[in-house]
Structure 1
Amino acid sequence: MTQTNLSRVAIVTGGSRGIGRQAAVRLAREGQAVVIVYANNHAEADAAVAEIEAAGGRAVAVQADVAEPEAVAAAFTRAEEVFGGVDVVVHSAGLMVLDTVADFDLDKLDRMHRTNIRGTFVVNQQAARCVRDGGAIINLSTSVTKLALPTYAAYSASKGAVDAISPVLAKELRGRNITVNAVAPGPTATELFLEGKDEETIRRMAGLNPIGRLGMPEDIAEVIAFLAGPGRWINGQTVYVNGGMV
């Protein structure tokens, strides 16, 4: 029997802000119960839960470091205890540190790759073990892997790992009707993207696509919701969501 969205449960990492929060809100609006996994910002996580509940949805927040297997496993256990299982995992948690290859601080490199690479692997490992048959796993990548922009080498490398993990896991889950895809946003108006950029840089990057604007978190959440629900024939892909930038 095919599950309806009213019986499906989603875990969204990085769900307290930005794209993750909008994905959580969108999935809840479509009837899915949502577990919002966050790193440190209790207030934003509570606000995300309140927003979903105010609209009639079901949500809880769980704090976890996505690079720590025990913490991630505990988040999945919480989803099972509160809502009965896990059908959808949206892995949106990530860090972005920018600098040239010559000047990059290697401690910051290790910190970013711990979250973006190890974190993706840990979350996907737990998802592979726990997501119910017929579910979906969606990882957040980036369109800058195709652009070769100066200062983005370390970040692009970390997201290139996301593009590598997703199709392999899709094949490893053969026989369970679980799709695994990556969503690669272009420049999107989130705190992660806007921090440290001047108006000229933002304007220039908004003009990289023919539509001529930055993406909004809601634009990305729309594609995530499609992959989490009706988009069953898309599997093992990186889907570029960038207004035609690349």
Structure 2
Amino acid sequence: MTSTVIPSAAPATGAWDEPAGVPARGTLIVLTGRGETAASYGRLGRRLSADAYRVRVVEVSLDDLDTARKQVEALLDDAELPAPKVLVGSDTGATYAARLAGELAAVDAAVLAGLALPESVVTATGWDDELEARTGCPTHRRIITEDDSFERGALSTPVPADWNVTAPGKPVLVLHGSADAVTASADAFEPFRDVKGARLRLVVGGRHDVLNDLSHRSVAATVVLFLESLKLGPELPVIVGEVQ
């Protein structure tokens, strides 16, 4: 008896590759936020890999940042993973990605979604309240609800007090939802205003898990546009612009 392995079942490993026969265009290293697992990023991983970007997920525990850093460094050092190598983070994963992007020379750029700051804490009275804060997408709600490894109530975990975000000095895309009840959009964008090489994008109606919210298709497309601009140079040349 033979079994069939379905590529979309990859979230258990947190790795998604480009389609067969298509040259890979770069590598995205996704850093999870509070409570999340690799399974939270199956949909995003499949979508970005379909555009020929390899995706690898590193599960970040605030109690063991050394392990996460070592895993990121190993992926950056892996010669089989093509450049550019871009850190993608959500919640505390975004905050940590901003720090690592500034410290690790091998990081070419960063995508920071739903940044978590020291005051970014939600005290939910139950799972329904946490879901409301995280996302309005029914599919993502189902995925994280059915994930036995997902840590419920994690958004109440304090963010380290010294985690003040600064621009990493490299190209960066900052994505934040206008309806984010965990971190105010103005606070998330403030460290990057007027910073050369920073693109700030507000997702209208988006909640905290902005990579996996109702507008996940548009958000993923925005990430791809950023990556394609990065392929042309760190100045992020405009590929599709408005007619003046």
TM range (shorter): 0.3 to 0.5
**What is the TM-score when the length of structure 2 is the normalising length?**
0.44
**What is the TM-score when the length of structure 1 is the normalising length?**
0.43
**Of Structure 1 and Structure 2, which has the larger fraction of its residues in helix?**
1
